[in-house]
A = this chain, B = another copy of it.
Amino acid sequence: TKEKYQGNEFAGVVTGLAWTAVGGEILFVETSLSKGKGALTLTGNLGDVMKESAMLAHEYLKSHAEQLDLAPEVFADWNVHVHVPEGAIPKDGPSAGVTMVTSIASAFTHRKVKKNLAMTGEITLRGKVLPVGGIKEKILAAKRAGITEIILSAENQKNLEEIKEEYIKGLQFHFVNTVMDVLDIALLNTKVKKPAKSV
């Protein structure tokens, strides 16, 4: 079913953009933390490449704890569970990388995710944001869902030229090169009221 944007009350819930056989769609990445030994659990009918995106996101944050004002040992002390509803739909590909890294970062920092924001882009281990496909379809889906700001890889800027002006009107784009660019834009300094952490 065609989803609507769902607000930003929850830490660890971030809106992504997917591209399927039937067009673009928004999807949500959810992260929950629980006391443990640093394990990473992935659910939501995810393919291997999408699972690797979550591993990259987790590892990237582990090596950049300081920049996020996190104690480094936090990653060894909490288990991370990343879920992408809806379970009946198989999902794969690297383009949820930015959404996953933002979701996990929000869960650990308790920082709110910017409102009405969606994003798509592959991430690498050193923190680059790579371009992805299906930009046009994803933008249409974002607009339909009530999104007003979109984060894309700088290398995807060229893809906007192929899209009619009217489709883009009212949307603000952020073109980024690095994961830190993404987190700077996406994570607010206000903290959520309902942290995604269990003791």
In the assembled complex, the Cα of A27 lies from the Cα of B199 at a distance in Å of 33
A45 vs B44: C-alpha distance when bound (angstroms): 19
Question: B59 to A122, Cβ gap below 8 A?
Answer: no
At the interface, yes or no: A49 with Cβ under 8 Å from chain B?
yes
Return the contact of A63 from the options B28, B48, B76, B198 (Cβ within 8 A). Answer: B198
Chain B residues with CB below 8 A from A87, complex form: 49, 52-53, 93-94, 97, 122
Residue from the set A75, A85, A122 with the largest chain B CB neighbour count within 10 Å: A85
Min C-beta distance of A136 to chain B, whole Å: 17
Q: Does A174 lie at the interface of the complex (its beta carbon under 8 Å from any beta carbon of B)?
A: no
Q: With A87-B52, A126-B13 in contact, do A198 and B43 touch (Cβ < 8 Å)?
A: no
- CB A86 to nearest CB in B, in angstroms, measures 6
| Least CB separation from A97: chain B residue | B87
Residue of B41, B126, B128 touching A59 (CB-CB under 8 A): B41
B residues within 8 A CB of A97? 87
**Additional A-B contact list (17), CB under 8 Å, known A13-B126, A88-B122:** A1-B131, A1-B155, A32-B60, A32-B63, A35-B72, A41-B59, A43-B52, A43-B56, A72-B198, A85-B122, A85-B124, A85-B128, A86-B94, A87-B94, A87-B122, A88-B93, A88-B94
